[in-house]
Amino acid sequence: MSKTWQPHARHILDAIAKIRRIQARGDLTQDDILFDAALRNLQTLSESTQHLPESQKAAWPNIPWRDISGFRNILVHNYLGEIDSKTVAAVIEQHLNALANCVQAMLDQNPD
């Protein structure tokens, strides 16, 4: 693992910001273009969480780190497009704020 994890953390925050902008454009459960854009950003942010140090993640046991990795695998390997848009929208609504707050706190504590 790279010693410098902060770029990955900033990438997570950037992907979350993009997802929020996607949501502002419409309902991703009703628009396949918005849905695809949200999926891509969820995939990249999930990948970036795998580059955060375990010591940092351990300080945030309320974040389901292993589930995030598993979700990334589902997003990447489900080639037939059977990912439910309502489930994805629920994940976004229920979990992204906590992840964003956690990652921002990590960066605030370790800016370099």
Model confidence pLDDT, tens digit, residues 4-51:
999 999 999 999 999 999 999 999 999 999 999 999 999 999 999 999
Which pLDDT score, from 0 to 100, does residue 28 have? 95
Spacing of C-alpha 32 from chain mean position? 19
Higher pLDDT, 100 or 73: 100
8-state DSSP, 62 = T
Question: Helix 32-49 and helix 6-25: axis angle, to 10°?
Answer: 160
Cα three-residue angle 68-17-112, rounded to 5 degrees = 80
Q: Where are the domains of the chain?
A: 6-109
Which pLDDT score, from 0 to 100, does residue 74 have? 81
Whole-number mean pLDDT of the chain?
Answer: 91
What number of other Cβ atoms are within 10 A of residue 72's Cβ? 19
